Structure 1
Amino acid sequence: MLQKFGFTQYESQVYEAILAQDEPLDATTIVNASNVPKAKIYEVLNRMIDKGIVLTTMDGKKKLYMAVDLQTVIHKIKLDFEKDIDSLKQYKIKRTFTDEHIWTLKDESSIASNIEQLIEEADSSILFLAWNERMETYRNLLEQKEEQGVYVEVLAVGGMESSLTRKYSLIPLLDAPEPSQLLIVDDAYLLFAGLENESWKAIKTMSKPIVKAMTDYFYHDVALTQITKKYGDQLLQDEEIERLLTRLIY
């Protein structure tokens, strides 16, 4: 019964044997009821006491055992599992090598998970460009990282309300472009995603030349955002400038 939840076969047999009785049992009775070898019974019982699913008391010179009720055990297993998940979320493995490969991702949920993981693991800096509905998904996490001292700079196409210190909002002057997402973390990790045939696809890399080039791309768009925000009406009056703008992210 309990083997699926990390308990041994003997522990499961002992727990079921004790739980089936309405009164406390001694070790000899548990051996007979559980089919656990006598040589192993005290070792098993002590482990179960340590795990908090068996209670013990003394009745004269005899030691008696009683099982914690099943609902309490279920609650304990659930709490322990949630605690382990929280610990796993905090666990970080620092890379000690540089991976120059370019990896591809084709599943939207996988791309989203990778973006969230990269943001969570950021130590020093986060640069993030995305359309507002995508940016909103990570807004709380980005704000938390900034509060932790990570340098965060974002460019939200379509605009976004946020407490972030360094945020830019790009309102496209012309037809809305195809959505994309660009994330650069710690000047070392890059993920770029875009739509292809209505499906999200992405690349992920630590290649230094690509990370540097896309960092320049990010600041290129930030600069254009600020320029068009201030001089957009004037720029669109110039046909040549308007033609050039249509070839950019606008």
Structure 2
Amino acid sequence: MKNNLLKILKNLNFTEYESKAYLALLEESPLTGYAVAKKSGVPRSKIYEVLESLVIRGDIFVSYGSTPQYIPVPAKELIKNRRLKAEETFEQAEKYFKKFERSANDRENIWNITGRSEILDKVKACILSAQKRILLEIWKEDFKEIESELKQAAQTGVIVTIIAYGDIEADFANVYLHDRSREITEEYDGRWLVFSVDDSEVVAGIVSHGKDSRAAWTMHVGLVMPITEVMIHDLYLMEIMEKHRDVLEESFGENLISLRRKFSIHPDLKKHYMK
């Protein structure tokens, strides 16, 4: 029991001698320095140095008189103080290290991510860093794995907009259902994911090939801008199609098939990126 308590105190930044002195005072107080040394096993030559360190840190109190006596801060109060101090330290760390998150080097690099789980893990991390807006193109098969993080971001005020391939329901987001998800999956021979956060960071790639899935993550403005803007133009098109489908299909065929033919380089109209 005592060894466990000593270990816990060490994890709270007590030295071995400080831990022994503090535990001795918890068991019995007030005590003189001599009595603390005798009860705790801390050498008498070190005890006053140890007690002074605890006093300065606020872990024990001293009553000065002809013979100084010491009492401990109650354990419950000690834990509370340590927790508050730790939270304050983390807040300061977040504040002062934030400027290093997006260094000049990061903004010039394009990082390759291999593996579906690894890609989704990176997207989750990016979601939790969002401050203003998330744009996302995703299939329903992959949505569930990042739904919790998206909902958490939305609860902090981040605007979440999803272009959904398949029936995705998310009352915390603006969801645009793409009405050709099955055909597109066949046409492209797979599912992609495109993610943009705060117009400053993107993850984009194929996520339907398991460990062979490939994506890129970057803050390079040369990719962030066009990828983000393509997603926004997809949203424009979906809004326009919803309101004027009849007129557009009269000009370009069902689901704009003549446009797909016009801009395809393959006779089967399928994409062959993965071959």
Above 0.5 in TM-score? Answer: yes
What does the per-residue CA deviation read over 1:183-240, in whole Å, with 9 as the maximum and x for residues that have no partner?
2233331112432532354311122222233123313432443455453895448865
Letter in 2 for 1:119: I
Q: Using the TM superposition, give the Cα deviation of residue 3 of structure 1 relative to its aligned residue in structure 2, in angstroms.
A: 1.3
2:50 equivalent in structure 1: 41
1:11 alignment counterpart: 18
List gaps (5 residues or longer) in structure 2.
1-5
Tell me how far 1:40 sits from its aligned partner.
0.7
- State the partner residue of 1:195: 207
Contact 2:137/2:194 (<8 A) preserved: yes
1:179-190 aligned at under 5 Å gives the runs 179-190=191-202
Q: Which residue of 2 aligns with 1:156?
A: 164
What SS does the aligned partner of 1:127 have?
A: strand
The aligned length equals: 238
Q: Give the distance between the partners of 2:134 and 2:108, measured in 1 at CA.
A: 20
Moved more, 205-214 or 31-40: 31-40
Q: Secondary structure at the match of 1:143?
A: helix
Q: Determine which of 18, 24, 31 is the counterpart of 2:37.
A: 31
Find the partner of 2:135 among 114, 127, 130.
Answer: 127
Contact (CA 8 Å) 1:105, 1:111: kept in 2 or not? Answer: yes
State which drifts further: 209-218 or 237-246: 237-246
Q: Higher mean Cα deviation, 57-66 or 213-222?
A: 57-66
Mapped contact 1:154–1:168 kept (Cα < 8 A): yes
- Check the 8 A contact 2:111/2:216 in 1, yes or no: yes
Cα separation, 1, equivalents of 2:269 and 2:241: 13
Which of 57-66 and 203-212 deviates more? 57-66
CA distance in 2, matches of 1:144, 1:89: 24
Q: Could you say which residue in structure 2 is the equivalent of 1:172? A: 180
Tell me what 2:126 maps to.
118
| Counterpart-to-counterpart distance in 2, 1:118 and 1:176 | 26
1:136 corresponds to: 147
Higher helix share: 2
Report % sequence identity: 20
Distance 1:191 1:73, change over 3 A: same
* SS in structure 1 at match of 2:231: helix
Specify the SS of the correspondent of 1:174: helix
User: 1:43-82 residue pairs with structure 2 within 5 A?
Assistant: 43-47=52-56, 50-51=58-59, 54=60, 62-66=68-72, 68-69=74-75, 72=76, 76=80, 79-80=83-84
CA distance, structure 1, for counterparts of residue 20 and residue 133 of structure 2 = 53
CA distance in 2, matches of 1:107, 1:79: 38
Helix, strand or coil: the match of 1:138?
Answer: helix
Give the aligned CA root-mean-square deviation in angstroms.
4.1
- Residue 143 of structure 1 aligns with an amino acid whose one-letter code is A
Give secondary structure in 2 for the equivalent of 1:161. coil
2:119 and 2:215 in contact (8 A); partners too: yes
Distance 2:215 2:89 in 1: 28
2:55 and 2:62 in contact (8 A); partners too: no
CA distance in 2, matches of 1:17, 1:237: 80
| Separation in structure 1 between the aligned mates of residue 36 and residue 220 of structure 2, nearest angstrom | 62
